[in-house]
């Protein structure tokens, strides 16, 4: 089971990524060192990475940083199936390579991306169960699965006596699809913690951009997926809510909205200033009326919210 006390984490997609995030130009290793240390100082201990981020460099950087600290971190990384991954041995080899890059003997959470090619969901469940039996991982999560895929995996996985700990999936004010496609409801019923990928919509919810994303290339295209004619109105509303909560900025409002839904946001962090702002996510809470206002502006479905006792006092 995903630790109930973890309400916030850090994504590491940008760590080492030169093509999409311009690592080495806009920010560098010293910035990531500062981000990591600041998060530890603020009590954050959940970091999510992937073998596919920067061709494994994200795992290497996180592993090197983790090796220097005595803090007990919660590290999750992802298994990304390839077309040539046909056997359990391919799965095990990918897992061991991640463990090597992360400098770990075992992994606390291994999140499985949807299968491709001839690697079926049932076979992935078998592979994950074997890794658990061998003590190479402690918990299994999923990443990017649909409700039907989650249900199929859960049925196969439960036959081995195991349950799914968490699901990483895109979720933010501009993408609330898991509320209406059955994914969130299924996760709630199976006690699967939902972790929000891209909680700031690739930067569109930071308030730094208007309806036009200024970046170029692949990142621009990914940001424009979140384009909506009502973005400017949403950002103005978020700014107003931020001013009513001791001057929080748009990014902090966007993350706190997710936090108020009982979902764990994992914003990517490249600089110390971002880490300082992001770490405040769970230290305050907007009012129910403000949450409802953002709900109305961005969707029609209310998300079931855990009891107030599950949240720290604001």
What is the tens place of the pLDDT at every residue in 139-161?
999 999 999 999 999 999 999 99
Q: How confident is the model at residue 119 (pLDDT cuts 50, 70, 90)?
A: confident
Mean pLDDT, rounded, of the chain: 90
What average pLDDT score do residues 106-119 get? Answer: 93
For 75, the token pair is: 């590290």
Q: Is the pLDDT score of 313 beyond 50?
A: no
Q: How confident is the model at residue 218 (pLDDT cuts 50, 70, 90)?
A: low
Place of tokens 């089971």: 1
pLDDT at 223: 65
pLDDT at 311: 36
pLDDT at 118: 83
Q: Are 64 and 101 spatial neighbours (Cβ–Cβ below 8 Å)?
A: no
Q: Are 293 and 253 spatial neighbours (Cβ–Cβ below 8 Å)?
A: no
Q: Is the pLDDT score of 272 beyond 50?
A: yes
pLDDT at 213: 52
Residues 6+ apart with CB under 8 A from 93: none
The domain made up of 10-300 has a fold known as TIM Barrel (3.20.20)
pLDDT at 82: 84
Q: Is the pLDDT score of 215 beyond 70?
A: no
What average pLDDT score do residues 155-174 get? Answer: 97
pLDDT at 57: 96
Q: How confident is the model at residue 216 (pLDDT cuts 50, 70, 90)?
A: low
3-class DSSP state of 262:
coil
Q: How confident is the model at residue 310 (pLDDT cuts 50, 70, 90)?
A: very low
Distance CA 9, CA 11 (A): 7
pLDDT in tens, 123-137: 999 999 999 999 999
Distance CA 85, CA 37 (A): 37
**Terminal-residue alpha carbon distance, the chain:** 26
**Alpha-carbon separation of residue 77 from 74, 113, 145, 218 (angstroms):** 10, 10, 15, 23
pLDDT > 70: what percent of the chain?
Answer: 90
Lowest mean pLDDT among 1-10, 118-127, 138-147, 219-228: 219-228
Q: Is the pLDDT score of 197 beyond 60?
A: yes
State phi, psi for 132 to the nearest 5 degrees: -65, -45
Residue 54, judged by CB atoms within 10 A of its CB (0-12, 13-18, 19+), counts as buried
């Amino acid at each position: 089971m995903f630790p109930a006390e973890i309400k916030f984490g850090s994504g590491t997609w940008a760590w080492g990524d030169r093509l999409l995030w311009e690592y080495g130009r806009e920010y560098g290793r010293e910035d990531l060192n500062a981000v990591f240390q600041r998060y530890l100082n603020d009590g954050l201990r959940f970091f999510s990475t992937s073998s596919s981020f920067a061709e494994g460099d994200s795992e290497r950087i996180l592993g090197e940083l983790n090796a220097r600290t005595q803090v007990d971190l919660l590290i999750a990384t992802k298994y990304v199936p390839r077309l040539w991954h046909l056997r359990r041995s391919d799965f095990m080899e990918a897992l061991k390579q991640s463990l090597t890059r992360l400098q770990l003997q075992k992994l606390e959470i291994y999140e499985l991306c949807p299968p491709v090619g001839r690697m079926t969901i049932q076979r992935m469940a078998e592979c994950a169960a074997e890794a658990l039996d061998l003590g190479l991982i402690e918990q299994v999560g999923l990443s990017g699965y649909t409700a039907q895929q989650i249900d199929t995996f859960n049925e196969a996985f439960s036959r081995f006596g195991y349950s799914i700990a968490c699901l990483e999936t895109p979720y933010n004010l501009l993408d609330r699809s898991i509320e209406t496609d059955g994914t969130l409801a299924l996760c709630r019923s199976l006690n699967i913690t939902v972790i929000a990928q891209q909680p700031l919509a690739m930067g569109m919810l930071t308030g730094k951009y208007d309806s036009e994303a200024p970046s170029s290339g692949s990142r621009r295209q990914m940001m424009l997926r979140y384009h909506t004619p009502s973005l400017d109105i949403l950002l103005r509303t978020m700014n107003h809510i931020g001013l009513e909560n001791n001057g929080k900025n748009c990014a902090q409002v966007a993350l706190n909205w997710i936090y108020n839904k009982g979902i764990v946001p994992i914003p990517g962090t490249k600089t110390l200033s971002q880490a300082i702002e992001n770490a405040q996510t769970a230290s305050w809470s907007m009012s129910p009326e403000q949450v409802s206002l953002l709900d109305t502006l961005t969707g029609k479905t209310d998300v079931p919210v855990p009891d107030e006792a599950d949240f720290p006092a604001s």
